[in-house]
Structure formats: structure tokens, C-alpha cells
Amino acid sequence: MTYISGLGPNNQKTLGNDTNIKPAKPDNSIQEETQRPVEDLILALSDLDRNTRERAAFELSTLGQNAESAVPKLTELLASDPDKGVRSFAAIALGNIGGKAADASSELINALFDNDEDVRTLITWTLGSIGREIPEMIVPGLIDVVADKSNGEVRENAIWALAEIGPAATKALPLLKKILGDRNESENIRTNAAFALIKIGKESSQPTQNNNAKSGYVGEAMVNIMNSPAVL
């Protein structure tokens, strides 16, 4: 199995069926002689063998911004590769490339609708990672997804991505506050919105009606989280 540790809302997700790879943290200072050239890895991403593509995407995921030239091909794989392991490592690689993967922004938003749960979870982390560097490219798309009530799970992940972005996602505050105060929203959606408000770290000037809460939406968010089960 492939274990992804410390990514997204879950501490550990299980991917793939037959590999035993644990991705390392990106090392932007890694010496060229200790790795396959990025150009060779990009070529391997087009290999007909899924294991070869997955291994190449994994290696790229360890290189951080050194893998910037692979962004177009990684974006293509994220959108269309039939293997979820390949799509997963493509997502991790893009997240580790960070703001230099700006050209992948639209496809990353679309990948919130991937048909595999593990991939969707990793996309949440990736959007949060990139969004902290280039919020202007990520936050508007996430707000559009959250505003569309047609898919509850995708909305939950989009809200979690906004939470991962943190203070740079302040443009999402009005929508998150509206969700938190809407009793017609699901408990999961409202709990995620509460957590996102705390992570973004902006308090509303409007006092809460709950006597046990601190003033503002952050206080109400804390109360909601304390009274609700964990969502993700």
C-alpha cells in the first residue's frame, strides 16, 4: 500500500494497491546527481505502464519547486490518468511545487470532483498548500464551489481547503459566516465552516447569542465544533 502521511484533514490516507512508497518532504536543495533528471521523469509520466508513471510522479513529488517544469504534464495526468495512484502523486507533486504550479489552478479546482475519495482528499491539501502562496488564483474558485449546493462532499472539501489556506482566504468569510448561521445547512458543512472561520482567524463585529462563546463568529465556531463530531 502507499501511505501518505501528514497531508490534508486526515493524518494518513491509503492509496493504491501494490506499492510501498512513502513520499518524502520536498527538498528544493537536493543535488542533481542524487536523482533522475526532471526531464527524464517528465518523459516517464507518458509511459504506458502505470507503475512507471506513478513512480515518476512520486519522484517529482519529492523535488518541490525543482519540479516546476513538470507542471503541464502533472496537470494533464491529474485530469485524465485512469490510475488513482498516478493522479494522487500528481496532486502531491503540484502541492509541493506550490505557487509555481499556478497554471494548474483551474484543473485542481475541477479535481475536487474526482471520482476517487483519496484523490479528492489529497486535492484538498494541494489546494490549501498552493492557495497559501497564490490565494488570488485559488480562493475565488473554492468560493464558487462552496456556493454551489449540488454536491455536499465536494463543498466540505472546498471549505476545508479554505481552512488550510488560512488568513489569505479572507474573501471567503462572508459566505462561511452565512453557512454557519444557516440551520438548513448540514451539520458537516456548518462544522467545516466553523473550523474554517477559526483557521482564517477573523472575528466578526457581530456578537454571538451564545452566552458561553467569545464574541464574534470565531466564538460561535468554537461552540459549534465542541458540540459536533469530527467531520474529516
- Please tell me the predicted confidence (pLDDT) of residue 103: 93
3-state secondary structure of 223: helix
Over residues 180-192, the pLDDT tens digits come to 999 999 999 999 9
Rounded to the nearest angstrom, the gap between the alpha carbon of residue 221 and the centroid of all alpha carbons in its chain is 22
The answer to whether 85 and 54 are in contact (CB under 8 A) is: yes
Over residues 85-140, the pLDDT tens digits come to 999 999 999 999 999 999 999 999 999 999 998 999 899 999 999 999 999 999 99
- pTM of the predicted model, to two decimals? 0.73
- Please tell me the predicted confidence (pLDDT) of residue 17: 37
Residue-range domains of the chain with CATH: 2-133 (1.25.10.10)
Contacts of residue 146, defined as CB under 8 A and 6 or more positions apart, other chains included, come to 155, 158, 159, 162, 172, 175, 176, 179
Contacts of residue 39, defined as CB under 8 A and 6 or more positions apart, other chains included, come to 69
Residues of the chain with pLDDT under 50: 1-24, 28-33, 203-219, 221-222, 225-226, 228-232
